[in-house]
Amino acid sequence: MLKIIRSDILKLLAWFLGSLIIGAALAPFLYHGCKAIVQLRVLPSFGDAGVWLNSKLDNAHFGRYFNRSMLIGALICLYPLIRSLKLKKTDLGLAKNPNRLSELSVGFILAAGILFIFGIVYFQMGIFEKTNSFSFRIILKFMVSAITVSLIEEYLFRGFLFGAVKRTASNFSTLIFISFFFAIIHFLKPPLNCARLEDGDIHFGTGFWTVGQIFGQFENPIFIAKGFATLFVVGLVLGWARIKTSSIWLSIGLHSGWVFCVKTYDYHSNIPTRYDKNFLLPYIGSDLKEGLIPLLGVLLTGTLAMLWITIRQRKSTL
């Protein structure tokens, strides 16, 4: 029993629940506090930056504030989590990787390339249509964003958290748990009905009601099929890459390739107005990452990455 209480998995679950509780309790106060600042018209006096921030706060719906409050809750609970895990660098199980640049590059090209091919097919079939014209500045912005996001998330999930759980669990159990954890955290986004709330409807319990709305979506098999399943498989592929290479560089490459492709495609495309955004669910969703077909793309990418790593490792032993 004592071993279970000290389990790193239990500590991660405690961090997750603590973040949910703090975030849900904080969300209404953050919303009304920021709206009060907007009403006071203090920010525009700080120049263009103040005008921009004032506009952002004024236009943001409750769902946006809920997301930010969840992030604050996670950061508040992160320090006690790190202290309780007492994780050493050697516990991570990561080795120096002389092939980090090649793994980063190949992972990026595989992930982005295969997903872009799916996107081109969508264009040819008329499922999506082109909107914005090509812009090098936008492409560079998405590239920087993709690399930044993948570095942070891979160091957190496949580095820190994977190493922590692996101390008391097998590789397989760790892979399943971290992949599920990765998917569930990415799905902590309020549904559309939370974005339509009026000021008078937002009170102390609204954050907890929103949490219930989020988890209530899991009763819908379409909801699971269109996105959650894909994110879970993404976590499995990234975790496998971490185990196979004892490094996170291939994972970073794959992750950044997917993020870059999704952001770039979303900016340059949209579903034609003659179609409902969910008309092809659960096979294709409202963007490039949703649906069972993108899930097959993730599996194909993981298979090719596995073959490449296996062939390279065999050659290195000859």
Q: Are 176 and 303 in the same domain?
A: yes
Q: Are 310 and 170 in the same domain?
A: yes
288's CB contacts (< 8 A; 6+ apart) are 115, 118, 119, 122, 261, 262, 265, 266, 269, 294
pLDDT at position 273 is: 59
Q: Are 77 and 222 in the same domain?
A: no
How many folded domains does the chain comprise?
2
pLDDT at position 132 is: 74
Q: Are 11 and 52 in the same domain?
A: yes
Chosen domain end from 42, 65, 86: 86
What is the separation, in whole angstroms, between the first and last Cα of the chain? 48
Q: Are 214 and 305 in the same domain?
A: yes
pLDDT at position 318 is: 65
Q: Are 114 and 225 in the same domain?
A: yes
Q: Are 127 and 210 in the same domain?
A: yes
Q: Are 77 and 184 in the same domain?
A: no
pLDDT at position 28 is: 93
- Between CA 18 and CA 211 the distance in angstroms is 13
pLDDT at position 105 is: 95
Structure tokens at 141: 């912005």
- Between CA 207 and CA 197 the distance in angstroms is 12
pTM: 0.85
- Between CA 113 and CA 257 the distance in angstroms is 8
Helix, strand and coil percent figures for the chain, each rounded to 5 = 75, 0, 20
Tell me the residue range of the domain where 228 lies: 91-317
pLDDT at position 279 is: 67
Residue with tokens 């979506």: 217
Phi, psi of 129 (to 5 degrees): -125, 150
* Under 8 Å between Cβ of 285 and 269: no
pLDDT at position 268 is: 83
User: Which helix or strand (DSSP H or E) is residue 63 part of?
Assistant: helix 62-85
Q: Are 65 and 162 in the same domain?
A: no
Residue with tokens 């097959």: 296
DSSP for 130-162, written as a single string: E-SPP-HHHHHHHHHHHHHHHHHHHIIIIIIIH
pLDDT at position 288 is: 84
- pLDDT averaged over consecutive 10-residue blocks of the chain (318 residues)? 60 90 94 88 79 81 88 89 82 84 95 93 85 82 93 92 86 92 84 77 90 83 78 95 94 96 87 66 80 91 94 79
DSSP conformational letter for 89: G
Chosen domain end from 86, 115, 148: 86
Q: Are 55 and 71 in the same domain?
A: yes
Chosen domain end from 63, 86, 109: 86
Q: What is the β-pairing status of strands 269-270 and 129-130?
A: antiparallel
